Amino acid sequence: MVAPTPESKRWRVKPGHRVDLADHDPGSSDGAPGERAETEAAIPALLSELADLQDRLWAEASRSLLVVLQALDAGGKDGTIKHVFRGVNPQGVRVTSFKEPTTVELAHDFLWRVHQATPRAGEIGIFNRSHYEDVLITRVHGLVPEATWKARYGLINSFEALLAQGGTTVIKLFLHISKDEQGKRFDQRMNDPDKRWKFRPGDLAEREHWDEYQVAYADALAATSTDASPWYIVPANHKWYRNWAVSRILIETLHEIGPHYPQPSV
């Protein structure tokens, strides 16, 4: 069993602190049990512990956990979901992938489609991209006025505070990769028949806005990391380290929630 220590604080963004992603090494393996082999060997025990805690949360059915995954293209959102959550009870986990808004969704406020996807009591909800696209891509591509996306920081904080008040713990994970690593992963996607389906021509166009996204992410992380719904900057160049770190964060968060199996009804 993993002790509920503050191990994950090494990646946590302190509320009210400025963020510069250049200060965070995406190739770091700080705190890992060892090199790749040792760290990968430690992951099965973490996944077993995660499955046990998730089972308790599902059985208790009174509180929930929302995991927000954000990253630049090829940052590892899909891989994180595939590898970290592979041992959990699928009845109690729901993944929502947010794509370009539909006409119906655009006819409502930007949080309308998001609120509908938040986890029910007992569930772990996973957002593959999220409401944060509305302060990232909209900013970088000038889809809304500056006053609009800046105001959304406060609206997001209020929304997440509402979720916390209703029993949903919110944690947000930015999977941090370098530009070089992204380029390598794009090459792999184009050259590997099993991965080519993931590649979109638009990925290369978005890569041209790398610097703007670095600034947009840094500002969003600084403006919306709170005690109730913190951001974690997870070094993600090494997939084995990313999986270990995300598992640690999830386990420690669930220990803080402290779910218990309910007493049997008599």
Would you tell me the crossing angle of helices 36-60 and 239-257 to the nearest 10 degrees? 30
Tokens of 259: 């779910």
Provide the pLDDT for residue 196: 82
What's the pTM value of the predicted model, to 2 decimals? 0.95
* pLDDT 10s digits, 254-263: 999 999 999 8
149 - beta bridge partners? none
Provide the pLDDT for residue 4: 43
* pLDDT 10s digits, 46-95: 999 999 999 999 999 999 999 999 999 999 999 999 999 999 999 999 99
Using only C-alpha atoms, the chain has a radius of gyration, in whole angstroms, of 18
Check pLDDT > 90 for residue 195.
Answer: no
* pLDDT 10s digits, 213-240: 999 999 999 999 999 999 999 999 999 9
* Mean pLDDT score, 152-161: 98
Q: What is the mean pLDDT of the chain?
A: 95
- Percent residues over pLDDT 70 in the chain: 98
Check pLDDT > 80 for residue 3.
Answer: no
Check pLDDT > 50 for residue 1.
Answer: no
Q: CATH number of the domain at 12-257, please?
A: 3.40.50.300
Q: How far is CA 252 from the centre of its chain?
A: 15
Distance CA 158, CA 156 (A): 5
Angstrom CA distances, 146 to 139, 201, 252, stand at: 7, 28, 37
Check pLDDT > 80 for residue 266.
Answer: no
Q: DSSP assignment of 138-160, as one string?
A: HHHTT-S-HHHHHHHHHHHHHHH
* pLDDT 10s digits, 19-45: 999 999 999 999 999 999 999 999 999
Report CA dihedral (108, 112, 116, 117) to the nearest 10 degrees.
120
* Mean pLDDT score, 195-207: 86
Q: How many helices (H) and strands (E) does the chain have?
A: 10, 5
For the chain, the domains span: 12-257
Provide the pLDDT for residue 193: 86
CA angle 155-217-237, nearest 5°? 140
